[in-house]
C-alpha cells in the first residue's frame, strides 16, 4: 500500500512530525465519499468537496499538509527542508487534484489525502 510513516491519530489542525522530522498538519477528515467525489470536513468546520478516486480513500482518511517546499519527481513528491529531502509516494492521486489541493491551502505547501491506520 502506501510507504508512509504512520502518524498517531490527532485532532484536526494539530501538527505531527514523523521520524525524519517532516512535519504535517491535519486539516480535516473525510466524512463522505460518493463516486469520484470526497467531502472533507475541515478543522474550521467548513466542508470541501474534492474530485478524486474515492474508493482509494476510506472514510476517516485525513487531509494533511506538508511543511516545506514541494517538488514532483516522477511518482514521488519530494518535500525539501533545510535538513534535506523527504520523499513521499504520490499513491494514486492524480496531479490535477494535487494542484487543486495546493490552491486550497492558499500557500506553497502541499496538501493531500492520507489514510491513517485505525487505532483502538
* CA 67/CA 69 separation, integer angstroms: 7
Q: Domain-by-domain residue ranges, the chain?
A: 15-114
Higher pLDDT, 96 or 45: 45
Cell of 22: 517532516
Residue/partner pairs of 98-104 with CB below 8 Å, 24 or more apart: 98/72, 100/50, 100/51, 101/50, 102/70, 104/48
Q: What is the pLDDT, as a whole number, of residue 36? A: 54
pLDDT tier at 119, thresholds 50, 70, 90: very low
pTM: 0.34
Q: pLDDT tens digits for 82-92?
A: 344 333 433 43
Tell me how far CA of residue 98 lies from CA of 3, 45, 84, 114, 120, in angstroms. 18, 22, 22, 12, 31
Q: What is the pLDDT of residues 21-67, one digit of tens each?
A: 545 555 566 666 665 555 666 666 777 665 443 444 445 555 544 44
What was the pLDDT predicted at 57? 47
Average pLDDT over the chain, rounded to an integer: 47
- Torsion angle, CA of 29/117/94/106, rounded to 10 degrees? 40
pLDDT at residue 109, as a whole number = 32
Give the Cα separation of 86 and 89 in Å (integer).
10
pLDDT confidence band for 114 (50 / 70 / 90): very low
pLDDT of residue 104: 35
Q: Of the candidates 58, 50, 35, 61, which has an alpha carbon nearest to the alpha carbon of residue 99?
A: 50
Would you tell me how many other CB atoms lie within 10 Å of the CB of residue 66? 21
Amino acid at each position: 500500500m502506501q510507504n508512509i510513516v504512520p502518524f498517531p491519530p490527532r485532532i484536526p489542525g494539530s501538527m505531527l512530525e514523523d521520524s525524519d522530522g517532516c512535519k504535517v498538519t491535519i486539516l480535516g477528515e473525510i466524512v463522505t465519499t460518493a463516486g469520484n467525489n470526497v467531502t472533507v470536513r475541515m478543522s474550521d468546520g467548513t466542508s470541501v468537496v474534492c474530485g478524486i478516486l474515492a474508493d482509494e480513500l476510506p472514510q476517516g482518511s485525513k487531509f494533511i499538509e506538508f511543511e516545506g517546499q514541494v517538488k514532483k519527481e516522477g511518482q514521488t513528491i519530494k518535500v525539501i527542508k533545510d535538513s534535506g529531502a523527504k520523499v513521499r509516494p504520490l499513491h494514486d492521486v492524480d496531479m490535477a487534484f494535487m494542484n487543486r489541493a495546493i490552491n486550497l491551502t492558499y500557500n506553497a505547501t502541499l496538501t493531500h489525502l492520507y489514510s491513517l491506520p485505525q487505532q483502538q
